[in-house]
Amino acid sequence: MGKWKRAFSFIQSYNFTMGSKRDIWRHGKYVDFWSVVHFFSGALLASFFFYLGLDLFWSATFTLAALLGWEFFEAVLKILETTSNVVVDIIIGLIGFLILAHLHYVEHWTFDWRYFLSLLFITLFLSAWGFVDFLKRGYR
């Protein structure tokens, strides 16, 4: 019975609907939970640009532009992050892109709506969860 009580206590310590007592959405110096969102965003952008038939150069260029644009948008919203966190966010987004690029160009994976929609759902879910937590806690 003790292990069930501990498991329930652990689950209870989280508010899985939007946010947590352990503050998983707070910005870190380099890597934080938002890094997961940036990773999936890079992979999602890669998938989208490959669907459009863009080659590697233009897919990478537009992905980098989108990742930089997002960081600029965060600055406009006054979401304050350290410079190192911004740089790492972009690098992690590019890592997500590069993994999908490898699968597409080297492993010859073709576009599949199931993968794209899965990436889209995960990215939107995590983004919404983090943004609601941001509004609730007022990180600025």
* 55-78 per-position pLDDT tens digit: 999 999 999 999 999 999 888 877
pLDDT grade, residue 34 (50/70/90)? Answer: confident
Query: What's residue 138's pLDDT?
Result: 66
Is residue 48 scored above 70 in pLDDT?
yes
* 88-112 per-position pLDDT tens digit: 999 999 999 999 999 988 998 888 8
- Distance of alpha carbon 31 from alpha carbon 92, whole angstroms: 9
Higher pLDDT, 13 or 131: 131
Nearest to 81 by CA among 49, 38, 45, 39: 38
Query: What's residue 74's pLDDT?
Result: 81
Is residue 80 scored above 90 in pLDDT?
no
pTM of the predicted model as reported, rounded to 2 decimal places? 0.74
